[in-house]
Amino acid sequence: MLLKLEEARQRRIPTWAFPVLVALPFWAILYIGAFGTHKHVEAETPQQVGSRVFSSNCATCHGAAGQGGAGPKLAGGEAAITFPDEAAHIDWVKTGSQTKPKGTRYGDPARPGGQHVVNSGGMPAFAGKLSDAEIAAVVAYERESL
pLDDT tens digits, 84-125: 999 999 999 999 998 888 889 999 999 988 899 988 768 999
Compute the C-alpha angle 86/89/94, nearest 5°: 130
Task: Summarize pLDDT for 40-91 with one digit per residue, the tens.
Answer: 778 889 999 999 999 999 999 999 999 998 889 999 999 999 999 999 999 9
Q: pLDDT-based confidence at 143, cuts 50/70/90?
A: very high
Residue 89, in any domain of the structure: yes
Q: Answer whether residue 90 is part of any domain.
A: yes
Give Cα 44 distance to the centre of its chain: 9
Amino acid found at 80: A
> Within a domain: residue 56?
yes
How confident is the model over 9-43, as pLDDT tens digits?
Answer: 667 778 888 888 889 998 888 888 787 777 777 88
How many structural domains comprise the chain? Answer: 1
- Residue 112 maps to a domain: yes
Q: What is the pLDDT of residue 67?
A: 95
Residue 106 lies in a domain: yes
Contacts of 71 (CB under 8 A, 6+ apart): 58, 61, 62, 123
Q: Is residue 8 part of a domain?
A: no
- The boundaries of the domain holding residue 119 are 46-144
The reply to whether 118 falls in a domain is yes
Residues 134 and 126: their CA atoms lie apart, in Å, by 10
Q: What is the DSSP string of 37-99?
A: ----PPPPPHHHHHHHHIIIIIHHHH-TTS--SSS---TTTHHHHH-SSHHHHHHHHHH-STT
Whether 3 is in a domain gets the answer no
Please name every residue paired with 105 in a beta bridge, in sequence order, or none if there are none. 117
Domain containing 68 — which CATH number?
1.10.760.10
Q: Report DSSP letters for 105-135, one per residue.
A: EES-TTSTT--EE--SS-PPP-TTTS-HHHH
